[in-house]
């Protein structure tokens, strides 16, 4: 049952395309069985992306997520017979106030999930474009090794503070680096921080997304790299699939390549969200209506998705 736990739409995200309903319909046409709708959370003006600076205020970004939430719940009901939809958000760990914003969203909306992501180092975006990545790298000390260390330290703080049910693109930091496919093991200090973070996720029961978006951006492996997946698997960690789509053309994109990464990492099963019914165990007290179900890779490969 192919699924995605991370998606965006041009209706509610300035750097995406397509309406939210079109994204849902694309997932149905590809025979996906589970899709999580997870737009970005609102941020302080200091953390606006360039395309937001002229079109939005802090208040309008708050209203945008509110509009998204209600539209997502409408679609969840409208398409209940065709696909299982879940509604949440992708968090932003940027500065001290981020924690307040994230907790505020969790208090305000009865979401089904949220993704714990880091897109900034020293408050500078590290995946938006190369000049901004270089700016963050200079602040970190001028090398990829130094900014990788700072990135994983920031991620560690996020994991401890939030314990997100899904950890988004764990090694996103490599996207704009000089060698995005470089092994993390070549930098012992960085690799130590990666392992530290994985242990935190394994201990609280979080799930790592296998995010296919790195493949469409020219990298040879999905997020996170196979060597990271192998380490997390050995810790007893769990994995799910995400396409991180930003429009209908990216729904389920490069899942065939992602599946090869899964097999190389020795992963035997993947997890997906499902409704918690009866005596089933929810993923946490905060999310009482959903649970994690698993499917074997062998069973996954038999699904009709792979022939569409």
In this predicted structure, the answer to whether residue 140 has a pLDDT above a threshold of 80 is yes
Give the global pTM.
0.96
Looking at the DSSP assignment, which residues form a beta bridge with residue 125?
120
Q: Quick: pLDDT tens for 27-82.
A: 999 999 999 999 999 999 999 988 888 889 999 999 999 999 999 999 999 999 99
**More reliable by pLDDT, 283 or 112:** 112
140 contacts: CB under 8 Å, gap ≥ 6: 121, 122, 146, 147, 149, 150
Helix (H, G, I), strand (E, B) or coil at 132: helix
In this predicted structure, the answer to whether residue 193 has a pLDDT above a threshold of 70 is yes
Residue with tokens 């965006």: 8
CA distance 168 to 117: 5
164 contacts: CB under 8 Å, gap ≥ 6: 91, 114, 115, 116, 158, 206
Q: What percent of the chain has pLDDT over 90?
A: 89
**More reliable by pLDDT, 52 or 203:** 203
CA distance 240 to 5: 8
CA distance 260 to 267: 10
In this predicted structure, the answer to whether residue 278 has a pLDDT above a threshold of 80 is no
Residue with tokens 């390549």: 257
Q: Quick: pLDDT tens for 68-93.
A: 999 999 999 999 999 999 999 999 99
Q: What's the CATH code of the domain at 38?
A: 3.20.20.140
Q: Quick: pLDDT tens for 232-264.
A: 999 999 999 999 999 999 999 999 999 999 999
* Residue 279, pLDDT score: 59
Joined together, the tokens standing for residue 194 give 């990666």
Number of domains in the chain: 1
Structural domain of 206? 3-307
Give the range among 134-138, 152-156, 184-188, 302-306 with minimum mean pLDDT. 302-306
């Amino acid at each position: 049952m192919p699924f995605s736990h991370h998606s965006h739409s041009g209706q509610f995200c300035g750097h995406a395309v397509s309406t939210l309903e079109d994204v849902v319909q694309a997932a149905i046409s590809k025979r996906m069985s589970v899709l999580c709708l997870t737009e970005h959370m609102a941020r302080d003006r200091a953390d606006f992306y360039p395309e937001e600076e002229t079109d939005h205020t802090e208040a309008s970004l708050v209203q945008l997520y509110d509009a998204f939430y209600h539209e997502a719940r409408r679609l969840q009901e409208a398409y209940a017979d065709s696909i299982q939809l879940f509604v949440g958000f992708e968090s932003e760990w940027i500065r001290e106030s981020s924690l307040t914003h994230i907790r505020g969203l969790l208090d305000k909306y009865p979401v089904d999930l949220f993704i714990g992501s880091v897109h900034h180092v020293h408050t500078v975006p590290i995946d938006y474009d190369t000049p901004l990545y270089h700016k963050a790298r200079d602040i970190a000390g001028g090398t990829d090794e130094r900014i990788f260390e700072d990135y994983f330290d920031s991620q560690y703080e996020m994991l401890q503070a939030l314990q997100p049910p899904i950890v988004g693109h764990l090694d996103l930091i490599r996207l704009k680096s000089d060698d995005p496919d470089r092994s993390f093991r070549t930098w012992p200090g960085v690799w130590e921080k990666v392992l530290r973070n994985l242990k935190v996720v394994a201990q609280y029961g979080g799930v790592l997304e296998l995010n296919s978006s790195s493949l469409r951006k020219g990298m040879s492996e999905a997020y996170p790299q196979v060597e990271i997946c192998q380490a997390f698997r050995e810790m007893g960690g769990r994995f799910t699939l995400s396409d991180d789509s930003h429009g209908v053309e990216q729904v389920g994109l490069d899942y065939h390549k992602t599946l090869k990464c899964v097999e190389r990492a020795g992963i035997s099963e993947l997890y997906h969200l499902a409704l918690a019914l009866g005596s089933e165990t929810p993923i946490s007290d905060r999310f009482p209506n959903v649970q994690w179900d698993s499917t074997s890779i062998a069973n996954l490969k038999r699904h009709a998705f792979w022939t569409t």
